[in-house]
């Protein structure tokens, strides 16, 4: 019986012939994918990157993409949406695992929400040299170590009280928490203390990413662009900025279809009354059509900032202009 492959966290990702990114926490999965791409590009800037939608896969595509080219450039093949894998993809991956191509890194992302592709997942987990990146939602008691890890990456130190304050303020969304840690670390000097956090996020002040979103929803493109450019100039990553847009507009989409009063809708949607109230106010600037267009633009930008385009900063600025013009 074949031994199980190593299970690691996103921060431990390193190049391997086959990588399974598994779990429902999309923020950690995105981090894993970004880290792997960065490491492979460091090894060889001529890396070829190919993205595959598992739900749209056609027979034979993997063999064609993974085959060595004339100049033998290394390849990164990223298979997204593994929960919707076609029968053709499952069959092709099973054949590929028997003889992985040298110089090719195959990454399959599966959130585990369905058993679709179980035979493929089981095979990956028995493939010598493969690794599995575990990306499950973090429990409350895992958030303090997560914040400590984020601070280490930024080469900053914080008091236990400051870390606890950050977790208290942003525990409901790990992407938001990571962005809050980054912003307070970049915008302050010296040890991050509880007082610094309380002052910086007084009254649960939203992070820079959400300030950009607020300006966009208000139709204030000038403020949105100034805030965005300041964020980028101070080192903000475009990925969490787009994630902030995705979170807010998902919320708008949920509320747009909810009936009843604010309290009733909040209970139905698992939200707070004030969130529903604010979302309904924001929705006044949108029709069903423009809201759908906005969500499509965010999905395109999300793809762009994760490697589909060469300039992620331009991609997020383009998104801001598009959405501000629609609102």
Query: What is the bridge-based pairing of β-strands 48-53 and 104-110?
Result: unpaired
For 208-326, CATH number?
1.20.272.10
Per-residue pLDDT reduced to its tens digit, 99-149: 999 999 999 999 999 999 999 999 999 999 999 999 999 988 899 999 999
What is the DSSP annotation of 255-269?
A: HHT--S-HHHHHHHH
The percentage of the chain sitting over the pLDDT mark of 70, rounded to a whole number, equals 94
- How deeply is 119 buried, as exposed, middle or buried, from its count of CB atoms within 10 A (0-12, 13-18, 19+)? middle
Q: Is the dihedral of CA 151, 152, 154, 159 positive or negative?
A: positive
Residue 37 has what pLDDT? 94
Q: In CATH, which of 1.10.150, 2.30.110, 1.10.8, 2.40.50 is domain 140-200? A: 1.10.8
pLDDT higher than 70, residue 326? no
Contacts for 34 with CB less than 8 Å, ≥ 6 apart: 239, 306, 307
Residue intervals in the chain for CATH 1.20.272.10: 208-326
Confidence bin at 236 (pLDDT 50/70/90) = low
Considering the four listed CATH numbers 3.40.50.720, 3.20.20.70, 3.40.50.300, 3.65.10.10, the one that applies to the domain covering 7-134 is 3.40.50.300
Domain with CATH 3.40.50.300 in the chain: 7-134
The residues of the chain that CATH labels 1.10.8 are: 140-200
Phi, psi of 164 (to 5 degrees): -60, -40
pLDDT at 204 > cutoff 60: no
- pLDDT, mean of residues 194-221: 73
Residue 188 has a pLDDT of 82
pLDDT tens-place string over residues 50-83: 999 999 999 999 999 988 766 678 999 999 999 9
């Amino acid at each position: 019986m074949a031994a199980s492959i190593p299970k690691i966290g996103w921060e431990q990702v390193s190049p391997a012939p086959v990588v399974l990114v598994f779990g429902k926490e999309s923020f950690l999965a995105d981090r894993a994918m970004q880290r792997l791409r960065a490491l492979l590009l460091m090894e060889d800037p001529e890396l070829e990157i190919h993205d595959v939608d598992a739900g749209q896969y056609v027979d034979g595509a993997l063999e064609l993409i993974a085959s060595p080219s004339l100049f033998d450039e290394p390849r990164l093949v990223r298979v997204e949406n593994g929960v919707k894998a076609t029968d053709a993809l499952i069959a092709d991956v099973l054949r590929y695992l028997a003889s992985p191509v040298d110089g090719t890194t195959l990454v399959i992302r599966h959130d585990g929400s369905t058993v679709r592709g179980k035979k493929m997942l089981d095979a990956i987990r028995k493939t010598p040299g493969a690794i599995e990146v575990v990306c499950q939602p973090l429990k409350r008691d895992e958030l303090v170590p997560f914040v400590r890890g984020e601070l280490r990456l930024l080469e900053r130190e914080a008091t236990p009280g400051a870390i606890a304050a950050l977790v208290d303020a942003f525990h409901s969304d790990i992407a938001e928490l990571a962005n809050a840690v980054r912003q307070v670390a970049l915008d302050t000097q010296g040890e991050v203390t509880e007082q610094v956090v309380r002052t910086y996020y007084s009254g649960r002040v939203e992070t820079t990413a959400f300030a950009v979103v607020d300006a966009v929803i208000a139709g204030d493109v000038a403020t949105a662009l100034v805030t965005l450019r300041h964020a980028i100039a101070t080192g903000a990553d475009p990925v969490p900025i787009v994630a902030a847009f995705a979170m807010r507009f998902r919320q708008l989409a949920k509320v747009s279809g909810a009936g009843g009063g604010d309290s009733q809708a909040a209970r139905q949607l698992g939200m707070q009354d004030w969130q529903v109230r604010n979302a309904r106010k924001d929705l006044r600037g949108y029709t069903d059509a423009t809201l759908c267009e906005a969500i499509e633009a965010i999905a395109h930008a999300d793809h762009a900032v994760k490697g589909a385009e060469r300039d992620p900063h331009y991609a997020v600025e383009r998104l801001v202009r598009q959405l501000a013009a629609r609102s």
